[in-house]
Amino acid sequence: MSEYTIFPESHSVLSSNPNSIQFRTFEDLDDKLMPMEWIWPNWLPRGFLTILAGESGAGKSALALRLIMSITNGKLWPDGTFPQENGLAVWCETEASQSLNLERAKKWGLDMKKIILPLDDATEDISLDNEIHRNLMVSAASLPGVMLLVVDSLSGSSRKDENTTKMLGPIKFLAQLARDKNIAVLLIHHLRKKGEKDTNSVDLERLRGSSSIVQTARVVWAMDNPNNSTGYKRLRGIKSNLGKLAPAIGYIIDDLGISFGSLPITEQSEKTSAKEDAHIFLRRMLESGPRDAQEILAEAKQNGIAERTLNAAKSELGIRSEREGGPNGKWVWHLE
């Protein structure tokens, strides 16, 4: 039995006679496992392992914290959709970045009481090679209300050689943890060094280490910069065994955190329509409340969204226009 198995495997053997062995069926699975569902539709599945990959400095940890905001604070998902439920998250640090992530959490207004650290020493890094650490991760994932467990990152979590199948043990442990506790597990992972034939677009071949690393993950995301742009970069799915990949999302990171909107310009026609981009833009602009219509129009123009496209998206989303301050007041837009 693997040292990473959460629960011992067992079956009932009635006798040494093969005809007397009691086997399980898919009906038993149906009784034991929860129905497939998405925490973030078409992006983050409950009960499965998801990998988030990108270059150093791409913003992987920042994105993970932003996703936690949707779970703990009820903030809109990056694509502008509303969270269907709120709960707790577990953060497993492996790269000694506790101070940086704490500062981000404070600055961005995360509900820090809802982010669980598995170890008794809050400054200690998680090791997937440590049985006590694994057991504490299981205990933290078992707490009522836990929806997401983040491991940041794979390279710091184990001393096993990433380039061999030995890494399958830690990865399988995380997949089992997601399945048995019916939570989403998000594993942050790095890319191998870029080769001469590699483009700026990240695919599965760019993930560092053995192919066994992505073998057990049912969904894989990439954060990349396809045009080497100084503006918006790109978040997209590059693998899903659970359904159609969701449209890619543009993102940018500044002092205020990570924001979502337009895709890099040359990717826009390839990955999403102008109207879909306008939908994401309007949800992002109005997620915190009504905004001045002229401010929205000006920022849309800066993002390359035509006014006619913006108005079409506004109508489809049911956004209301109201004049504040009487007949001569300014127009504001409301997202219902």
What is the C-alpha radius of gyration for the chain, rounded to an integer number of angstroms? 22
Q: What is the pLDDT of residue 16?
A: 58
d(CA 53, CA 239): 11
Joined tokens for residue 169: 């043990």
Q: Which residue has the higher pLDDT, 189 or 199?
A: 189
d(CA 75, CA 66): 9
Do 68 and 161 belong together in one domain? yes
Do 140 and 239 belong together in one domain? yes
Q: Is there a domain that residue 71 lies in?
A: yes
Do 214 and 302 belong together in one domain? no
Q: Which residue has the higher pLDDT, 227 or 138?
A: 138
Which pLDDT band, with edges at 50, 70 and 90, does 299 fall under?
A: confident
Do 64 and 156 belong together in one domain? yes
Residues in the chain: 336
Q: What is the pLDDT of residue 89?
A: 98
Per-residue pLDDT averaged across 55-60, rounded? 93
User: 23-32, 145-154, 262-271: which has the minimum mean pLDDT?
Assistant: 262-271
Residue that terminates a domain, selected from 224, 242, 272: 272
Contact 71, 89 (CB under 8 A): yes
Q: Give bridge partners of residue 191 from the DSSP assignment.
A: 207
Residue pLDDT, tens place only, 229-242: 778 899 999 999 99
Q: Is there a domain that residue 18 lies in?
A: no
Total-model pTM: 0.75
| Structural domain for 293, as ranges | 279-334
Statement: residue 267 has pLDDT above 80:
no
Q: What is the pLDDT of residue 6?
A: 55
Per-residue pLDDT averaged across 44-49, rounded? 97
Do 290 and 230 belong together in one domain? no
Q: What is the pLDDT of residue 268?
A: 44
Do 123 and 253 belong together in one domain? yes
Q: What is the pLDDT of residue 305?
A: 82
Do 171 and 319 belong together in one domain? no
**At 333, which helix (H) or strand (E)?**
strand 330-334
User: 31-35, 175-179, 247-251, 329-333: which has the minimum mean pLDDT?
Assistant: 31-35
Q: Is there a domain that residue 9 lies in?
A: no
Pairing of strands 49-54, 184-190: parallel
- Percent of the chain scoring above 90 in pLDDT: 57
Q: Which domain CATH number covers 105?
A: 3.40.50.300
| H helices present in 158-291, as ranges | 168-181, 212-215, 265-271, 274-286
Q: What is the pLDDT of residue 162?
A: 92
Q: Is there a domain that residue 268 lies in?
A: yes
Statement: residue 263 has pLDDT above 70:
yes
Q: What is the pLDDT of residue 20?
A: 66
Strand, coil or helix: what is 235?
A: strand
Residue that terminates a domain, selected from 224, 246, 272: 272
Residue pLDDT, tens place only, 102-140: 999 999 999 999 999 999 999 999 999 999 999 999 999
Q: What is the pLDDT of residue 107?
A: 93
Do 179 and 322 belong together in one domain? no
Contact 251, 303 (CB under 8 A): no
Which pLDDT band, with edges at 50, 70 and 90, does 250 fall under?
A: very high
d(CA 324, CA 221): 42
Statement: residue 143 has pLDDT above 90:
yes
Q: Is there a domain that residue 11 lies in?
A: no
Q: Is there a domain that residue 4 lies in?
A: no
Report the domain count for the chain. 2
Residue that terminates a domain, selected from 272, 297, 324: 272
